[in-house]
């Protein structure tokens, strides 16, 4: 039994795989104040919902972009499941080659996304991840991770707008009924939603221009679905792409 854990700035996604099949997964808010035992109670509670005993988990694979939480989940895995987790970095064996100037700078979630996308679709391919940050990662036809783009996510942009503009406030990230807002809330919604769609499509076009040919584009992340429907380039989305990448990387260590 493999437990895949994707620790993000906003959400943590946890899924369990049995013989390569996803049993279930959960997306919850990331809590930077977790203790090891709180983390253990939380994860074993999710396992219980999936009717899995902690002793059934014999592998754990983790991607984390929250340094404060990485050792918490690592210690939790050892204490509550007696498993030393595989922590994804550029230093472990990977089914792709990373061509970043300094591979250590590539986030583990971006590595997992790239592995999952390339395994499923081949290359060239672009992965758009809508989260706290929007990341676009580019993988070549031969499986080389070429690099990508990092931009603020819509929730991050909305929070900063509310923080810095005295008369503005946070709104839900959703597509408004019309582009021309007739209230402050709808105007902000329009700017955040259509601004994100336009920004991502413009960057994808620039990537295509730089490559000299079009690449397939897929998306992931908790906010992906609505944006994908309005993109000119994104073909589909997979909300558990990072978990799939963690599974593939974990299996790769076993030579599977």
Q: Which two tokens stand for residue 140?
A: 């070549």
Predicted pLDDT of residue 167: 86
pTM exceeds 0.85 for this model = yes
Predicted pLDDT of residue 256: 56
Burial 123-155 (b: 16+ CB within 10 A, else e): bbbbbbbbbbbbbbbbbbeebbbbbbbeeebbb
Question: Given the DSSP bridges, would you call strands 21-29 and 11-18 parallel, antiparallel or unpaired?
Answer: antiparallel
- Domains recognised in the chain with CATH numbers: 2-87 (3.30.420.40), 97-245 (3.30.420.40)
pLDDT in tens, the chain (256 residues): 999 999 999 899 999 999 999 999 999 999 999 999 999 999 999 999 999 999 999 999 999 999 999 999 999 999 999 999 999 999 999 999 999 999 999 999 999 999 999 999 999 999 999 988 999 999 999 999 999 999 999 999 999 988 988 888 899 999 999 999 999 999 999 999 999 999 999 999 999 999 999 999 999 987 888 899 999 999 999 999 999 999 999 999 987 5
Predicted pLDDT of residue 66: 96
Report in angstroms the alpha-carbon separations of 184 from 168, 215, 226: 8, 38, 21
Predicted pLDDT of residue 55: 95
Predicted pLDDT of residue 82: 96
Predicted pLDDT of residue 225: 81
* Cα–Cα dist 120/149, whole Å: 22
Q: Which of 24, 58, 102, 109 is catalytic?
A: 109
Active site residue 226: no
* Cα-only R_g, the chain: 19
* Cα–Cα dist 53/45, whole Å: 10
């Amino acid at each position: 039994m493999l437990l895949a854990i994707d620790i993000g700035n906003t959400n943590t996604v946890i899924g369990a795989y049995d013989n390569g099949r996803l049993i279930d997964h959960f997306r919850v808010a990331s809590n930077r104040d977790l203790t090891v035992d709180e983390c253990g109670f939380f994860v074993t509670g999710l396992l219980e919902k999936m009717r899995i005993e902690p002793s059934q988990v014999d592998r754990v694979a983790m991607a984390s972009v929250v340094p404060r939480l990485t050792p918490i989940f690592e210690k939790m895995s050892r204490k509550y499941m007696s498993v030393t987790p595989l922590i994804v970095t550029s230093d472990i064996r990977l089914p792709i080659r990373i061509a970043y100037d300094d591979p250590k700078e590539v986030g583990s979630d971006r590595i997992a996304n790239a592995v999952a996308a390339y395994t499923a679709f081949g290359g060239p391919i672009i992965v758009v991840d809508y989260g706290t940050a929007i990341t676009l990662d580019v993988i070549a036809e031969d499986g080389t991770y070429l690099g990508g783009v990092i931009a603020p996510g819509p929730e991050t942009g909305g929070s900063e707008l509310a923080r810095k503009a005295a008369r503005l406030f946070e709104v839900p990230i959703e597509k408004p009924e019309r582009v021309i807002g007739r209230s402050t809330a709808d105007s902000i919604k329009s700017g955040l939603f259509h601004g994100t769609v336009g920004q991502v499509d413009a960057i994808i076009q620039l990537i295509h221009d730089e490559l000299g040919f079009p690449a397939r584009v897929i998306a992931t992340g908790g906010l992906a679905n609505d944006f994908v429907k309005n993109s000119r380039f994104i073909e589909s989305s997979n909300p558990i792409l990072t978990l799939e990448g963690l599974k593939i990387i974990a299996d790769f260590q076993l030579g599977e």
